[in-house]
Amino acid sequence: MPASFPQYVTEAITGPLPDPPGVKLAKEGLKAKHPVVFVPGIVTGGLELWEGHQCAEGLFRKRLWGGTFGEIYKRPLCWAEHMSLDNETGLDPPGIRIRPVSGLVAADYFAPGYFVWAVLIANLARIGYEEKNMYMAAYDWRISFQNTEVRDQTLSTIKSNIELMVATSGGKKVVVIPHSMGVLYFLHFMKWVEAPAPMGGGGGSDWCAEHIKAVMNIGGPFLGVPKSVAGLLSAEARDIAVARGMAPGFLDMDVFGLQTLQHVMRMTRTWDSTMSMIPKGGDTIWGGLDWSPEEGYECSPKKPKNNNSEAGGQNGFGNLGNATQVHYGIMISFGKGVAELHSSKLERVDFRGAMKGNHLANTTCHDVWNEYHDMGVEGVKAVADFKVYTAGSVLDLLHFVAPKMMKRGGAHFSYGIADDLDDEKYEHYKYWSNPLETKLPNAPDMEILSMYGVGIPTERAYVYEFSPTPECFTPFRIDTSAEAGYEGTCLKGGVFSVDGDETVPTLSAGFMSAKGWRGKTRFNPSGIRTYIREYNHAPPANLLEGRGTQSGAHVDIMGNFALIEDILRVAAGATGQDLGGDRVYSDIFKWSERINLKL
Amino acid sequence: MASILRFRKLCILVPVKCSPVSYESHDAPEAEKKEDSPISAVEQVSEKPQVKKNKRQPKQWRCIDKCCWIIGYICTTWWLILFSFNCLTANLPGLKVPEPPGARLRREGLTALHPVVLVPGIVTGGLELWEGKPCSEGLFRKRLWGGNFAEIFKRPLCLLEHLSLDNETGLDPPGIRVRAVAGLVAADYFAPGYFVWANLIENLAKIGYEGKNMYMAAYDWRLSFQNTEIRDQTLSILKSQIELMYLTNGRKKVVVVPHSMGVIYFLHFLKWVEAPPPMGGGGGPDWCNKHVKAIMNIGPAFLGVPKAVGSLLSAESKDVAFLRAMAPGLFSSKTLGLQTLEHAMRVGRTWDSVISLLPKGGETIWGNLDWSPEEGHVCDSLKKRQLQASASDDKGNNSDSRRAFHVKELTKYGRIVSFGKNASELPSSQFSPLVFKVVSGSSTNSASVSCGKVWTEYNEMSHDSIRRVAENKAYTAETVMDLLRLVAPKLMQRAEAQFSHGIAEDLDDPKYNHYKYWSNPLETKLPNAPDMEIYCLYGAGLPTERSYVYKLTPSDRCKSIPFQIDGSADGSNSCLKGGVYFGDGDESVPVISGGFMCAKGWRGRTRFNPSGIATYIREYHHKAPTSLLEGRGLESGSHVAIMGNVAFIEDVLRVAAGASGAGLGGDKVYSDIMRMSERIDIRL
């Protein structure tokens, strides 16, 4: 709701507004009970300057990220330089210190008028929350999770604050609400806090059981997002980079001039955290060349989804005769036709051994460095000749095109599935943020809720092409001309889309709660209860509603009244069962069924 | 700078763009010239009008031309001013802003070592709204206090209602929750451009400090200290943050930098944290020694400030009320109509914390009717030098200088409040003995119908008792408490459960375990922390309110405050001005309050300081800013502006980077604090 309209005007147009959930529930008698911890996601948290180069004069403790972004327009190159991290270490470059804003202001509004947590905070305040029992666990979302502890001691700070809030609220456990990448960050935290001291927080094996009542994951990319692959590969994913995906409209092309993509890419490639969202679980989860769990998904939203996919489910995976079947398992394909071919007909040339070197003569774009220049023509060609990549081989692709970045990231993140969770190597922190390579803590009273929006087409796979002018552009680009000729319009502008919240596919957000952790599994040895709460997307009914009170989109869902009500009830003491257990609109259970994973 | 450059470009373009409109048609050669460099275009601008006058008929001088010319002129002048400003600051040595101390010390090799905790004082911390009455719609999580105060001007009464606390409990009134802003933003700037901590923070950042090793212990400064824990758990949070920073920074003890009232708040914390759980934080007897390296008290109000008396009695000190002293121009009478003082008083009297600033230690510290430790203080700075010299000569001969009546017009600072100028000067023998009786019960309630909206407790006092208050003529630090009990019974009743203002006879008495004594340095022992250091850092050399001359307000129905400072009382010696006697200090806190504990009360091993914590006095002599560019001054000694004092910042940085008090050079004293403390006769 634009604040400029007085309430009586809007009520005259739309009829009386529904009470915000906070007011409604306060009338029902709900009171603040459990302290609440927010964990913001990537991009939405503010970053401010503590030390900078000459060109950043006068920006001390001003926001470089978040807020008005005025500085991008004034001094774009200086801005990009400061936002980048060191390419070798993934930490601060010399002479530059950018730190997360702390406190609730860190992520209540991303930009003026663009709320992230503000609506939720306001509603929590209605039932009696205030600064002392609400805590925003702001962290530097650019660096890898373990590095936030190494550099800023952020994990220790979160631990200490949770302990403090539990102590000052009379022993009430906290309700944690992570959003987006914050979900993975908190997963990492839960392992860290119980791990012994040098690498972990030394909280002991029942820390989570003693301090956490529930983890309410909002739009959690547990198994990664395909968007991040496109973001890393070519700094584009319909909208530029992962960064832009979460904050549409703020990073405009013209700011950096013609070389936007390269600048953004060079910047985002120094951010280790983007690698935490590369699809995990490989072909087992995301599908191989010939099948995918979402097979049979009907993209046209007009038709009732259930009929068709029901049939697909009965036929199993082998339903290849159907022309509308989309091979979601092929995450990247070169050329539109390739994506639809049967795997046996593909001719692929292995790129892994291909020659690198044979440098492109880059005289025209000298100041924009990126690793593609090290790859040479041969390498680029080899990549394209391989034709198709699944979630598993996409990792090899990334290793090939961005070796430095992946080497750095490989030390902090892992994307596989554990065979034996008791293996000692899984005590290393790089596995902690991958739900398929860690056990949940031993906390049988804890609850895990996966809350996410559904009903919005979400990027799932891409059709790529060679970029026409390889000197000045990244050599690959999404083939925006690739359109599906037939009715099922899953392919649009070179992107195959599937059900989700616009950023995270349903599969990634829901699988762990639907199957991976449901009941007592090897990933969830203590049998923590899990619930799925889906929120079907309904676009705002009119302009006055702003970003909608029933939205299911990745960030806008934070203003969804149903979601807020769920959170308020849990914070006031309800359990997942009291909320009504699972609430599912998508086919998540069917899709999870198809995934063949040892539990 | 970028915006200036862009603006400059725009300015140059405007005249050029305008020129075709104005003279293209009739003046071809001129039009050709316009392709010249921008500078010549600017020159043309200045030539133009004469050309016009000669050649043009007045009727052709159209409106649009005028507009263009005016815009052109304005832009050109603006540009010239900016240009010269830039050139001057860069080139003239006198105008050059010196390098910030942080950058200099960094080059010396100082780096962040000990975590730093900042404790803001009264008034300077921001307050924001969490729940309010309908009139405060749309202010959720907006600052009611601090920031730009826009809302105070828009809806003053609503705001004052929200800033008030409950008159009975001293906590939130029902339906209103106003909370302290958290984080460094709480008190870095009080209002836009009016820095409080920002300078210090910036300089700390230069040697490597950042969010993880710098913490602003913001608290709701309206509440009594113990209530911040009861309502907000602020003390617990502070304890936990200090412990956290201690651990995450490689077990380096913290350096605490409290300011103004924050000083006694932190004193309270030191006792609280070691006290056992139900009332205290249960940190154990060596918590302070383990976690705190040094306390660098800025402008410490250890023994209270006389200003607090003035603000409680009549909501005015020299500058209206304590609040206004810190935020000049805020409570201008226009906002609140005629009853500014009454409103300010009503709100201020619900704030328990103000009571913590009343003078402590009674006549022993602040002096009695005839005597005061500051005796002989000369207010005129020129005379001072000569007199100081002679005084020190005298002292050599005269061991009992306190009784020396050689200076005729000795100011009787001991009389904190006196009614009438005469009463402030008379020798005490001419007073009738104190016949101070509380007669408040017989309230005839002086019919405040016409101005019923503004309630102050004075309405409940009878005229009779008001008159009797004035008849008592003079009050010392001790009797002034009785006076306050009479005129503000509710406030004092509430607050005396939270604060105490006496001097302890026996510090081991179990009653001193109660929290109300914790913020009074004269009624508590310092913690057992021999490795800790305590600094008293304060400005000196500014006239500071020390005692007041009052008069009865001419009876006016709507001015319900019966006393006011007698603004006409000016003394022959320049200590008395506008009804206020001034002493040495930092404009808010007299040196005696700021320095006594460090100079004598805690110096060495005393009963207030059983473990012999080292104390240091660092005074900063006030110098007014030499040029406009310096803003509020790099060598200021005034209460808040001292936070921008270069020498002060350097001291804090050095200690934070590991130096000890001896490393700084020990005491640095400009005022007479040592001599004054000497005169105070207190059992140590």
Taking each helix axis as running N to C, give the angle between helix B340-348 and helix B156-163, from 0 to 180 degrees, rounded to the nearest 10.
20
Q: Are A413 and A275 in contact (CB under 8 A)?
A: yes
CB–CB of A104 and B141 under 8 A? yes
- Which tokens sit at B589? 């806190």
- The C-alpha atoms of residue A218 and residue A117 are separated, in whole angstroms, by 12
pLDDT for B125: 84
CB–CB of B2 and A99 under 8 A? no
**Strand-strand pairing, A63-65 and A47-51:** antiparallel
CB–CB of A131 and B211 under 8 A? no
Residue of A468 and A62 predicted with greater confidence: A62
CB–CB of B240 and A132 under 8 A? no
Segment holding A64, helix H or strand E: strand A63-65
Q: Hey, CA dihedral for B13, B18, B23, B25, is it positive or negative?
A: positive
B569 burial class (0-12, 13-18, 19+ CB within 10 angstroms)?
A: buried
- The C-alpha atoms of residue B652 and residue B115 are separated, in whole angstroms, by 12
Instruction: Check B260, B356, B372, B519 and give the catalytic one.
Output: B260
DSSP annotation of A478? E
Put simply, whether B1 touches A (Cβ < 8 Å) is: yes
Nearest residue to A218 via CA among A37, A514, A449: A449
pLDDT beyond 60 at B6: no
Average pLDDT of the residues in A166-179:
93
- The C-alpha atoms of residue A515 and residue A523 are separated, in whole angstroms, by 10
B87-98 pLDDT, tens digit each: 665 555 555 567
The single residue listed with the structure tokens 């769990």 is A293
B297 burial class (0-12, 13-18, 19+ CB within 10 angstroms)?
A: buried
CB–CB of A157 and B212 under 8 A? yes
A385-440 pLDDT, tens digit each: 777 888 888 888 888 877 888 888 888 899 989 888 888 888 899 999 999 999 99
pLDDT beyond 80 at B453: no
Choose from A574-578, B465-469, B479-483 the range with maximum mean pLDDT: A574-578
pLDDT band at B387 (very low <50, low <70, confident <90, very high): very low
pLDDT beyond 60 at A245: no
Contacts of A197 in chain B (CB under 8 A): none
pLDDT band at A321 (very low <50, low <70, confident <90, very high): very low
- The C-alpha atoms of residue A205 and residue A202 are separated, in whole angstroms, by 9
Q: For residue A212, what are the contacts with CB-CB under 8 A and spacing of at least 6?
A: A162, A173, A174, A175, A176, A190, A443, A446
Min distance B192 CA to chain A CA atoms (Å) = 14
- Chain-centroid distance of CA A362 in Å reads 34
Instruction: Check B639, B667, B671, B672 and give the catalytic one.
Output: B639
Among B130, B233, B240, beta carbon nearest to A125: B130
A342 counts as catalytic: no
Put simply, whether B277 touches A (Cβ < 8 Å) is: no
Nearest residue to A498 via CA among A343, A274, A201, A298: A298
A367 counts as catalytic: no
pLDDT beyond 60 at A358: no
pLDDT for A310: 37
Contacts of A152 in chain B (CB under 8 A): 210-212
Put simply, whether B86 touches A (Cβ < 8 Å) is: no
A205 counts as catalytic: no
Q: For residue A178, what are the contacts with CB-CB under 8 A and spacing of at least 6?
A: A38, A39, A41, A185, A186, A215, A216, A217, A218, A220
pLDDT band at B389 (very low <50, low <70, confident <90, very high): very low
Residue of B403 and B261 predicted with greater confidence: B261
Put simply, whether B408 touches A (Cβ < 8 Å) is: no
Average pLDDT of the residues in A227-248:
56
CB–CB of B184 and A61 under 8 A? yes
**Strand-strand pairing, A47-51 and A97-100:** antiparallel
- Which tokens sit at A304? 């009732």
List residues bridging with B474 in a β-sheet. B418
A274-310 pLDDT, tens digit each: 888 889 988 888 988 888 888 777 765 444 334 343 3
pLDDT beyond 80 at A548: no
Q: Are A434 and A278 in contact (CB under 8 A)?
A: no
Among A97, A102, A132, beta carbon nearest to B183: A102
- Which tokens sit at A207? 């820390």
pLDDT beyond 90 at A452: yes
CB–CB of B3 and A74 under 8 A? yes
Instruction: Check A450, A479, A554, A587 and give the catalytic one.
Output: A554
pLDDT beyond 50 at B63: yes
Choose from A383-392, B151-160, B593-602 the range with maximum mean pLDDT: B593-602
Min distance A157 CA to chain B CA atoms (Å) = 7
- The C-alpha atoms of residue B196 and residue B640 are separated, in whole angstroms, by 6
Residues of A with CB under 8 A from a CB of B: 3, 50-51, 57-58, 60-61, 74-75, 97, 99-100, 102-105, 108, 121-122, 125-126, 130-132, 152-154, 156-157, 160-161, 163-164, 167-168
B169-194 pLDDT, tens digit each: 888 998 899 999 888 888 888 877 78
pLDDT for A436: 93
Average pLDDT of the residues in B220-232:
91
Instruction: Check A108, A272, A499, A501 and give the catalytic one.
Output: A501
Min distance A50 CA to chain B CA atoms (Å) = 7
Among B202, B233, B236, beta carbon nearest to A60: B202
pLDDT for A372: 61
pLDDT for A370: 53
Nearest residue to A546 via CA among A536, A533, A532, A561: A561
A495-539 pLDDT, tens digit each: 888 888 888 999 999 999 999 999 899 999 999 999 999 999 888
Q: Mean pLDDT lowest for which of A110-119, A467-476, A555-564? A: A467-476
| Length of chain A in terms of residues written | 599
- Which tokens sit at A418? 């554990």
- Which tokens sit at B166? 């409950």
Q: Output b/e per residue, B138-166; b: 16+ Cβ within 10 A.
A: ebbbebbbbbebebbeeebebbbbbbbbe
Alpha carbon of A35 to those of A169, A427, A566: distances in Å?
7, 30, 15
Q: What is the ipTM of this complex?
A: 0.83
Q: Are B316 and B331 in contact (CB under 8 A)?
A: no
Instruction: Check A84, A144, A180, A228 and give the catalytic one.
Output: A180
Average pLDDT of the residues in A331-341:
73
Question: What are the start-end ranges of the H helices in A218-270?
Answer: 226-234, 241-246, 260-269
Contacts of B235 in chain A (CB under 8 A): none
Among B211, B233, B244, beta carbon nearest to A168: B233
- Centre a 10 Å sphere on the Cβ of residue A541 and count the other Cβ atoms it contains: 11
First to last CA, chain A: 46
B497-553 pLDDT, tens digit each: 889 888 988 888 888 888 989 989 999 999 999 999 999 999 988 888 888 888 877
Q: Are B304 and B593 in contact (CB under 8 A)?
A: yes
Q: Are B379 and B573 in contact (CB under 8 A)?
A: yes
For B583-646, the DSSP string reads: EEESSSSBHHHHHHIIIIISSSS-SSSTT--EEEEEEEE----SSGGGTT-SS--STTGGGG-H
- pTM, 2 dp: 0.82
Among B2, B233, B248, beta carbon nearest to A75: B2
Taking each helix axis as running N to C, give the angle between helix A391-401 and helix A372-385, from 0 to 180 degrees, rounded to the nearest 10.
150
B574-586 pLDDT, tens digit each: 677 777 888 888 8
Min distance B515 CA to chain A CA atoms (Å) = 19
A58-98 pLDDT, tens digit each: 888 888 887 777 776 677 778 888 888 988 888 899 889 99
- The C-alpha atoms of residue B282 and residue A55 are separated, in whole angstroms, by 49
Average pLDDT of the residues in A300-324:
40
Nearest residue to B258 via CA among B232, B233, B221: B221
CB–CB of A157 and B248 under 8 A? yes
Residue of B566 and B12 predicted with greater confidence: B566
Put simply, whether B240 touches A (Cβ < 8 Å) is: yes
pLDDT band at A366 (very low <50, low <70, confident <90, very high): very low
CB–CB of A125 and B140 under 8 A? yes
Among A100, A122, A132, beta carbon nearest to B233: A132
Residue of B158 and B435 predicted with greater confidence: B158
The mean of the pLDDT values for chain A is: 79
pLDDT for B19: 42
B73-112 pLDDT, tens digit each: 999 999 888 887 766 655 555 555 677 888 889 988 889 9
- The C-alpha atoms of residue B120 and residue B115 are separated, in whole angstroms, by 16
- The C-alpha atoms of residue B391 and residue B374 are separated, in whole angstroms, by 13
SS3 state at B147: coil
- Which tokens sit at A502? 């616009």
For A418-443, the DSSP string reads: -S-TTSGGGGSGGGTT-TTSSPPPS-
First to last CA, chain B: 59
Contacts of A61 in chain B (CB under 8 A): 184, 188, 201-202, 205
pLDDT beyond 60 at B327: no
- The C-alpha atoms of residue A339 and residue B312 are separated, in whole angstroms, by 81
